[in-house]
A and B are shown apart, each in its own frame.
Chain A
Amino acid sequence: MSSAYEMLWAEKYRPKTLDEIVDQEEIVARLKKFVEEKNVPHMLFAGPPGTGKTTAALALAHDLYGENYRQYLLELNASDERGIDVIRTKVKEFARSRTPPNVPFKIVLLDEADNMTADAQQALRRLMELYSATTRFILIANFPSKIIEPIQSRCAYFRFKPLPKDKVVERLMYICKNEGVQCEKEALEEIYELSEGDMRKAINILQAAAALGKVTVDAVYKAIGYAHPAEIREVITKALNGNFMEASKHLRKLMLEYGLSGVDVIKSIHKEIMSNNLKIDDRLRVLIADYAGEVQFRMTEGADDEIQLQAFLAKLALLGPRFKSA
């Protein structure tokens, strides 16, 4: 940590070229072939978070276009762009811009494509066809099944697997060495367990722990607190105890102070409900999961995420005490 400028490690240690990617060998081999032939099909990268999908796409662009690859790559995030119209305008503009010198096409990288509605995906499919002469699309998704058939069939499909423990630990170890940070091996293993094969998350936890000094198991446990599952759990527990008012006050704090979107919150809630940390009746788990799903759907249709979550908490406050007394 000697230079004045520091970076976030997840970005600093993101492999720049296909050669630097240590895992996902088969995928890398296929991508290298595309680079060699300077011919890339539309592609669908699917897999859990933090397994190298975005990294592979960026590295591919780097290897195709060289250092200045950024001007031949349009990066979009489906969950940030307001609707397919914005995406259409941006793609149209991009397709008109300068073409790269040695490669006959540019690349549109569309992250979180599985967050698009089926209608938006249909529009996307038409876009892909319209500009196929000059652009290639790389779609990134956590759940490929949420991508409509006609798009899937137009894409070369790459499935990213969760990274194995030894690869993650090895990478964390390398980062520590490079940064001059002392670390315990058990601490790195603990990070792996907590991040469930999500490399970005693992590196984030590592950096938070390193900010405390030495990367020890204790530091890791302290560092994991930077995200909010603990607070989410509190909201759920309060609601399940029948205390709707307290739970909803806490929820408002989470949303306003941390700026979490409704979908973020319901996803975290869902994760929390499925985890073993929450000791509840499995039959209750089923009921809650069903309603959480309904609420998440209503948020995509509704106007005010908070009211949907409050309705969810009201349901918990109704069901929780019943299962407790039973």
Chain B
Amino acid sequence: MKKSIPWIIKYRPKRVEDVVNQEKAKELLIPWIKKWLSGNPPEKKGALLWGPPGVGKTSLVEAICNEYNLEKIELNASDFRRKKDIERIALVAATKRPLPPKKGRIVLLDEVDGLSPRGDEGAISAILELLEKARNPIIMTANDPWGQHLRPIRERVLMVEFKRIPKTKALPYLMKICESEGIYCEKQALAYIWEKNKGDLRACINDMQAIAEAYGKITLDLAKALVVERDRTLTPWEMLQHLFYAKYFWQAKKAVTSTDLDYDTLFLWIAENVPKQYGDDPEDLWRAMEALSRADVYYGRIKRRMNWSLLPYYFEMLGPGVALAKEKYHKRARWSYPEKITLLAKTKEQRRIREELATLLSLTQHVSKSYAKAEIIPLLKFIAQHNPQYFARLALGLRLTDEMIKFLAGKEYRTVIRIKEKLLKEMEEEAKIRAAREAKEYLERKALEVVEEEKVEKWEEKKEEKAEKVEKREKKERKREERRGGLTLLDFLNKKK
């Protein structure tokens, strides 16, 4: 089969009216473009098109270029990370007139939310400069324009929101593509693909093409087998950025479901940084902590009962629950790596010792481990600090290991061990004296036993001598019999006895 061009390019809207269901956005953007074209540029030199991926932001820009005969100069986030790049390309593009027959130019900066607040500060100031000097419309796109670092841009541009495309609008559109390709297609399959891609039209079309090219048809079974949910992997820092500045439920949920982190670590990242981000407002902080608390309850239920069907609720509390807890704007805080992970690694050894100590105490003192930890261990620590001498004795009595002693005594460790060893030595010496005494007693007892044994031996020797005599006599008799050449009846009877 001939490798065809991507449907996503083939079926790209040619005219503004072909862009599906973004009437509000068009109402804002078209008049703005027309102002540019009329030679009477609008006050705001830039427009920021924002909304979920695959709903037609870039497509609308392309349709406009096509319809109004404009040249599109496109830069991706990866192209404009450095101030120099933007200056070189964009400034030239924004100021010079295009070659005929094009009537004008549009500069498109794609995915500006991909700029990092720390590393790409230069790029942001370059964009601001661009907006100052622009003599052509500057259009930017973003999924999440709410980062603190994008605020200067937000203030200087026309904000144009793109909504998710409803199923009723999306499905006929997808169906039309199938018809023009002449491919058999089940309606439920398209619904399923749409569902999995959460309204991302571009992703839907890519999935359809993938199935159609491999199997020549699109059925529900094939869709179920082949379509996987797209997870663009976010770094933990990106995840926090997307989460804390999410405006919508879906944005926040996407943020927490788009990382490589395992569920525990993901939770720790968010739990670590919620207080930092919301710390300046007790109300917002509490609502976010409450959401985390609920998320943890779902997670506990999932783990305890292996009930993974509860997982969506966990993500919804962790993501949207936290993101929508804010009622006011919080500027970006200094986020950090979860301290708990570092601490748990550092204290692992201590926790193991404490656990063993609690087990030992619970067995000997008839209490629960948690009682041992809450009551007895602190008691022992207190005694160790204030009376190492006495504690050393307790350590012996309770059969504490040296590492347990170290755990309890802290600074006093050496003192306690010294005393303990001294005590042990004393006990050893006592034991030696006792052993010596016992050995002496034993020897005395043994001496008596030797006398007894000698008597027994003499008696046994005599017995042996007797036995030998009997044997000799029997031998003599046997020889006599042989000489006689047989047994007499009497001999026979005797022998049988």
Contacts and interface: CB of A to CB of B under 8 A. Distances in A.
A59 to B, nearest CB: 12
Interface in A107-163: 111-112
Contacts of A204: 375-376, 379
B426 to A, nearest CB: 7
B427 to A, nearest CB: 6
A314 B285 contact: yes
Contacts of A208: 379, 382-383
Contacts of A225: 382
Interface in A295-326: 295, 298, 301-304, 306-308, 310-311, 314-315, 317-318, 321
A4 interface: yes
Interface in B292-306: 292-293, 296-297, 299-301, 303-304
Given A258-B378, A264-B374, A5 B397 contact: yes
Contacts of B354: 259
A252 B272 CA distance: 12
B282 to A, nearest CB: 4
Contact of B286 (A8, A112, A260, A314): A314
Interface residues of B, number: 57
Contact of A314 (B267, B282, B369): B282
A252 to B, nearest CB: 7
Contact of B275 (A14, A244, A264, A308): A244
Contacts of A201: 375
A176 interface: no
Interface in B109-147: none
Contact of A311 (B289, B358, B373, B396): B289
Nearest to B291: A311
B285 A244 contact: yes
A22 interface: no
Interface stretch (A29-37, A73-81, A281-289): A73-81
Contacts of B267: 304, 307
A58 interface: yes
Interface string B370-389: 10011111110111001100
Contacts of B362: 77, 80
A97 to B, nearest CB: 18
A226 interface: yes
A248 interface: yes
Contacts of B375: 201, 204, 227
Contacts of B358: 259
B233 interface: no
A244 B362 CA distance: 35
A268 B391 CA distance: 27
Contacts of B390: 1, 6, 211
A236 B364 CA distance: 34
A295 B292 CA distance: 12
A238 to B, nearest CB: 13
Nearest to B426: A4
Nearest to B293: A311
Given A314-B286, A314-B290, 9 more contacts: A1-B393, A5-B393, A75-B366, A80-B362, A204-B376, A252-B343, A259-B377, A308-B293, A308-B296
20 contacts: A4-B393, A7-B394, A11-B365, A11-B366, A75-B366, A79-B369, A208-B383, A211-B391, A226-B381, A244-B279, A258-B378, A259-B351, A295-B293, A303-B303, A304-B271, A304-B296, A304-B300, A307-B296, A314-B286, A321-B282
Interface of B: 267, 271, 275, 279, 282-283, 285-286, 289-290, 292-293, 296-297, 299-301, 303-304, 340, 343-344, 347, 351, 354-355, 358, 362, 364-370, 373-379, 381-383, 386-387, 390-391, 393-394, 396-398, 423, 426-427
Closest 4 CB pairs of A and B: A226-B382, A6-B393, A311-B293, A302-B300
